[in-house]
Amino acid sequence: MKTIARILLLALLVTAPSLASAETRKLTRAEFDTLRAEPAKLLVLDVRRPDELTSIGGFGVYLSIQAADLEKSLAWIPKDRTVVTVSNHASRAVRAADLLTKNGFTVAGAIGAQDYESEGGTLVKISPPAPRPASN
């Protein structure tokens, strides 16, 4: 019996760090739309690349910081709003939200723009700016 107890204790100690991780919840379209109803309290943080924003679309008002640049850009993110992170299918958004949570931000969850659209939501299609004419 002591051997079983030791094995269970060891298994608990090995898995405890993963149980304590801040796993962010993926939001549904309805949950995100509810949060968007109070824009003064919300910050939508899109962690996708610019080409993904233009080819897929996104949300009307957002802060764009690519996932690779997020940790060094934390000072630019206001802490007085609840944050929802965005990527295409929420994988990068969940990791970004976990990072924000560990750094003291209030995070409601993560959402995938393509998932939002597949659930009936409408994305804003963003056009890249026209090239500037060459100056003489």
Q: Whole-angstrom Cα distance, residue 40 to residue 37? A: 9
Amino acid at 57: G
3-state helix, strand, coil in the chain (%, to 5): 45, 15, 40
6 confidence band (pLDDT: 50, 70, 90): very low
CA 101 to each of CA 22, 86, 129: distance values in angstroms, whole numbers, following the listed order: 7, 15, 34
3 confidence band (pLDDT: 50, 70, 90): low
Q: Looking at domain 26-70+77-126, which of 3.40.250.10, 3.30.70.100, 3.10.20.30, 3.40.50.150 is its CATH number? A: 3.40.250.10
pLDDT at 136: 66
